[in-house]
């Protein structure tokens, strides 16, 4: 299933992982989760990849897990497949957080259940007028996974997260932008190009600085002020003498665009 249902491409230092089950709104089935994990691991270890985009084919981002398959597990009174899937999901969520590169969710349509929380686990979410979010787990008697309890609560606060999880209500693109679930909304007729241009902008940035920004934002969300100031001091001191910082300052003084180095040092 994985070869045809997870597409992968690297163009101009941007890797794109595409869920490809449009007939099922890109619902996750079979070994799709394992393939997503493998592709993300490939991206994390490839110095030629400077930014990662996760998206879906057709009119949906991802409808979450395949409910027909889950119903079969129930009929068999067997939760072992679910548990094994969740072990893989946990690895994906941790890697999305730990990867020293920006990860963009290009939410090209509905994102429900695990699909919503996969998007929330990314660093940036780019939507369109067709974007739709739903914590739909409650509608089938389940609770959010894919790290949704943490990611959604941090983005919208405990009260709103409670409402969205308990009702499973849909959130359209404009409301998602207002709540902070989306960073930007692009027109559907130019969506793919706009996403690629945004990703290319990040891919052209200073890899070590972007990696430190990503780490710092997640750290600051739960750290005390003194800890954040220490993080800033240590990382700024490490970056000031880096090749990218030297290039950035030279470019500024010479009034030209900077050309930052490879991603090989992004985790240094």
- One domain for residues 218 and 197: no
Which domain covers residue 120, as residue numbers? 2-203
pLDDT at 266: 37
pLDDT at 265: 36
50-22-88-164 Cα dihedral, nearest 10 degrees: 90
Query: Contact at 8 Å (CB) between 28 and 62?
Result: yes
- One domain for residues 189 and 234: no
pLDDT at 2: 55
Q: What is the tens place of the pLDDT at every residue in 215-267?
A: 999 999 989 999 999 999 999 999 999 999 999 999 999 999 999 984 333 33
- One domain for residues 189 and 253: no
- One domain for residues 36 and 22: yes
Least confident of 157-161, 204-208, 258-262: 258-262
Q: Which of 227, 208, 209, 207 is nearest to 219 (CA)?
A: 227
Query: Contact at 8 Å (CB) between 199 and 54?
Result: no
Average pLDDT score over residue span 165-186: 98
Binning the chain into helix, strand and coil, the percentages to the nearest 5 are 55, 15, 30
Q: From CA 202, how far away is CA 126, in angstroms rounded?
A: 13
Q: What is the tens place of the pLDDT at every residue in 40-91?
A: 999 999 999 999 999 999 999 999 999 988 898 888 998 998 899 999 999 9
- One domain for residues 89 and 219: no
CATH number where 106 lies: 3.90.226.10
Angle (nearest 5°) at CA 217 between 215 and 219: 65
- One domain for residues 78 and 164: yes
Q: Which of 187, 29, 31, 185 is nearest to 114 (CA)?
A: 29
Task: Write out the two tokens for 29.
Answer: 């089935």
- The residue out of 186, 203, 220 marking a domain boundary is 203
CATH number where 229 lies: 1.10.12.10
Contacts 24+ apart (CB under 8 A), 167-173: 167/138, 168/134, 168/135, 168/136, 168/137, 168/138, 168/139, 169/134, 170/132, 170/133, 170/134, 171/132, 171/133, 171/134, 172/131, 172/132, 173/127, 173/128, 173/129, 173/130, 173/131, 173/132
pLDDT at 204: 95
Tokens 């090749």, residue located:
243
- One domain for residues 100 and 64: yes
- One domain for residues 36 and 168: yes
Q: Which of 122, 100, 86, 93 is nearest to 47 (CA)?
A: 100
Q: From CA 95, how far away is CA 102, in angstroms rounded?
A: 12
Q: From CA 214, how far away is CA 225, in angstroms rounded?
A: 17
Q: What is the count of structural domains for the chain? A: 2
- One domain for residues 221 and 151: no
- CA 111 to chain centroid: 12
- The residue out of 152, 174, 203 marking a domain boundary is 203
pLDDT at 267: 37
- One domain for residues 260 and 163: no
Going by pLDDT thresholds of 50, 70 and 90, the confidence category of residue 159 is very high
- The residue out of 203, 226, 248 marking a domain boundary is 203
pLDDT, the chain, mean: 93
Q: Which of 147, 54, 150, 64 is nearest to 102 (CA)?
A: 54
- One domain for residues 160 and 217: no
pLDDT at 3: 64
pTM score of the predicted model: 0.93
- One domain for residues 179 and 255: no
pLDDT at 78: 87
């Amino acid at each position: 299933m994985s070869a045809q249902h997870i597409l992968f491409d690297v163009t101009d230092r941007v890797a794109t992982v595409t869920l490809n089950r449009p007939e099922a709104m890109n619902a996750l089935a079979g070994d799709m989760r394992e393939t997503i994990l493998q592709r993300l691991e490939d991206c994390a270890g490839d110095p030629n990849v400077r930014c990662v985009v996760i998206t879906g084919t057709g009119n949906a981002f991802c409808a979450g897990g395949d409910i027909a398959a889950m119903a079969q597990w129930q009929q068999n009174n067997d939760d072992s497949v679910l548990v094994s899937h969740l072990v893989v999901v946990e690895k994906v969520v941790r890697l999305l957080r730990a990867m020293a590169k920006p990860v963009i969710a290009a939410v090209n349509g509905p994102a429900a259940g695990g699909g919503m929380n996969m998007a929330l686990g990314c660093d940036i979410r780019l939507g369109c007028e067709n974007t739709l979010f739903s914590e739909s787990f409650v509608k089938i008697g389940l609770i959010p996974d894919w790290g949704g309890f943490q990611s959604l609560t941090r983005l919208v606060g405990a009260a709103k997260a409670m409402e969205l999880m308990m009702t499973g209500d849909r959130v359209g693109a404009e409301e998602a932008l207002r709540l902070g679930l989306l960073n930007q909304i692009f027109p559907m007729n130019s969506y793919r190009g706009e996403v690629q241009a945004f990703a290319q902008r990040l891919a052209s940035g200073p890899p070590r600085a972007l990696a430190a920004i990503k780490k710092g934002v997640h750290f600051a969300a739960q750290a005390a002020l003194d800890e954040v100031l220490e993080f800033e001091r240590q990382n700024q001191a490490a970056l000031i003498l880096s090749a990218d910082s030297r290039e950035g300052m030279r470019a500024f003084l010479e009034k030209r665009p900077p050309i930052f180095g490879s991603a090989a040092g992004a985790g240094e």
